[in-house]
Amino acid sequence: MTAPIAILLFAAGSSSRMGARDKLTEDVDGEPLLRRSALRAIATGLPVHALLPPDRPERWRAVEGLDLTLTAVPDARDGMSASIRAGLASLPERTPGTIMLMADMPDLESADLTALAKRFADLGSQTVVRAATEDGRPGAPALIPRHLFPALQALQGDTGGRDVLKSVPQDLVPLPGRRAVTDLDTPDDWAEWRETRG
């Protein structure tokens, strides 16, 4: 029997552009951004694997008690590729694909992730399904089929899946507004985002 697709929640980055602050523990509506992102992933009903650095206990506390699998990324300082390798290694053998979800995208909703999963199933589980803005600009997350896992596992350094994705066909799923391209990496990003929320 085929396992369901899974969500890999990437939360092992250094948050280096935030200075002394950690973007993933910034408060959003009374909870850390990481917990908020995890809860929205869990609400899809899909299995969620959170990828965390071993040296950030506050991130582990942020997701404490939630229904997800916690995976440490011991070589997180080596960059995004280390998280990708650890995440893919944590998945059950027959997982047909995975949503690569960055934890710093505060506007994504559970329904957005479910829409990606549905399109993936409708297309037969072999096509990359990627979120886009309302006007069709490619963004994140992307749902990657299993046959591309080896190419992702071969990545090195601070490299995400972009190089792998640019060489394969993608089906874009437009999401409302700029949800698919809004991520919060710097204090200025946070200030601007909070300003737009009122």
Return d(Cα 185, Cα 26) in angstroms, integer.
11
Give pLDDT, residue 198: 64
29, 122 Cβ separation under 8 angstroms: no
Walking along the chain (198 residues) 10 residues at a time, the average pLDDT comes out as: 85 74 89 96 97 92 96 86 92 93 94 96 89 94 94 80 82 94 89 85
**For residue 92, is it within any domain?**
yes
Q: Is the peptide bond before 141 cis (omega within 30 degrees of 0)?
A: yes
Number of domains in the chain: 1
Tell me what pLDDT residue 16 has.
66
The answer to whether residue 54 is domain-embedded is yes
Q: Examine residue 70 and state whether it is found in any structural domain, yes or no.
A: yes
Residue at 109 is within a domain: yes
Predicted confidence at residue 140, as pLDDT, reads 94
Give the CATH number, domain containing residue 113. 3.90.550.10
Q: What is the pTM of this model?
A: 0.93
Nearest-angstrom CA–CA distance, 188 and 198: 15
51, part of any domain: yes
Q: Which domain holds residue 182?
A: 6-197
Nearest to 71 by CA among 43, 104, 105, 47: 47
39 in a structural domain: yes
- The partner residues of 129 in beta bridges, in order of sequence, read 143, 171
What pLDDT does residue 196 have?
86
Label residue 5 exposed, middle or buried (CB < 10 Å: 0-12, 13-18, 19+). buried
Per the domain annotation, does 1 fall within a domain? no
Strands (E), the chain: 6-10, 27-28, 31-32, 48-52, 69-72, 97-102, 128-132, 138-145, 170-174
Is residue 46 assigned to a domain?
Answer: yes
